[in-house]
A = this chain, B = another copy of it.
Amino acid sequence: MFHIIGVMGPGEGATPDDEQNAYELGQLIAQQNWVLLTGGRNAGVMDAACRGAKQAGGLTLGILPSRDRTTLSSAVDIPIITDMGNARNAINVLSSDVVIACGFGAGTASEIALALKARKPVILLNPNQQTQAFWMNLASGNLFIAKTPIEAIEISQSILKEKA
């Protein structure tokens, strides 16, 4: 079985920094021989992370909210078509061994919350103080903070080592 790392972040609302970070995360995840999981859409963090992983020769899973395959990132190898809208966010986090949040928006917040609820390890990439403090209050030892994509990968490595 492969390790599956979920990268969660906004679609249309992603900033250029979010997309750059997502691209690097995708590359680094692929270099670890981990499978990248995203929400699958051809926008923002989802698309950038998948493109990064493909550039580095990785395998990409996209858990698509709709049935409309024109919304799918062309860098997804394996599309899972849920047709269940944002209820698929629960599947995103349950299927990931580690969840990395890259950028913020309401959809990403729902994924962080669902992951904390399911006691999945969550890494926030470079959050502002307010965001960090808010989630820390809801977590129970399963929330981590990374300043850079590389640090997020290092934290993921130790999480996966502990689980093994």
Shortest CB–CB separation between residue A4 and chain B, in angstroms?
7
Pick the contact of A91 from B35, B82, B104, B138 — CB < 8 Å? Answer: B82
The reply to whether A80 and B105 contact each other, CB–CB distance below 8 Å, is: no
In the assembled complex, A57 has its CB within 8 A of some CB on chain B: no
Q: Is A146 an interface residue, CB under 8 A from the partner?
A: no
B95→A91 contact, CB < 8 A: no
The interface size bin for chain A is 35 or more
With A130-B130, A130-B134 known as contacts, the answer to whether A87 contacts B90 (CB < 8 A) is: yes
B90 touches A85 (CB 8 A): yes
A116 within 8 A of B: yes
Q: Does A114 contact B (CB under 8 A)?
A: yes
Specify which chain B residues have a CB less than 8 angstroms from the CB of A4 in the assembled complex: 78-79
On chain B, the residues within 8 Å of A67 by CB distance are: 85, 94, 118
